[in-house]
Amino acid sequence: MLCDAVADRTGLSKADIAMISEAMFMLMRDALMAGENVKLTGFGSLQLRERAGRVGRNPRTGVEYNITPRQTVAFTPSAHLRAALDRLPGSDPSAGKVRQRA
């Protein structure tokens, strides 16, 4: 569990870590609900995005239904996190890059 790992690295109690984590997530939630972006330096950012209404389809039956417009949270990893993930064994750093025409 994440709280256990943080407690081991910091020497703080699991209860203190849980309280700090809960407060941090509540602050992030409040910022997103207020329409603000949340930037986690070195990790990424969270933004509130609008999703348009659209027609969906049940893949089993083929029946169409309307999906209402809504807001969702999108995560964008930082360049630091992307670079770290690209260094993982078996990762392909060129995956997802758009080729430029000659």
Please name each of the domains of the chain with its CATH number. 2-86 (4.10.520.10)
pLDDT for 43 equals 95
Residue with tokens 């770290």: 84
Query: CB atoms < 10 A from the CB of 28, how many?
Result: 15
In this structure, the dihedral spanned by the alpha carbons of residues 40, 45, 50 and 51, taken in order and rounded to 10 degrees, is -120
98 pLDDT more than 60? no
Task: Judge contact between 66 and 72, C-beta under 8 A.
Answer: no
SS3 category, 47: strand
pLDDT for 93 equals 60
69 pLDDT more than 60? yes
When the pLDDT of each residue in the chain is averaged and rounded to a whole number, the result is 90
- Mean local confidence (pLDDT), 76-96: 84
101 pLDDT more than 60? no
Answer whether 0.75 is exceeded by the pTM: no
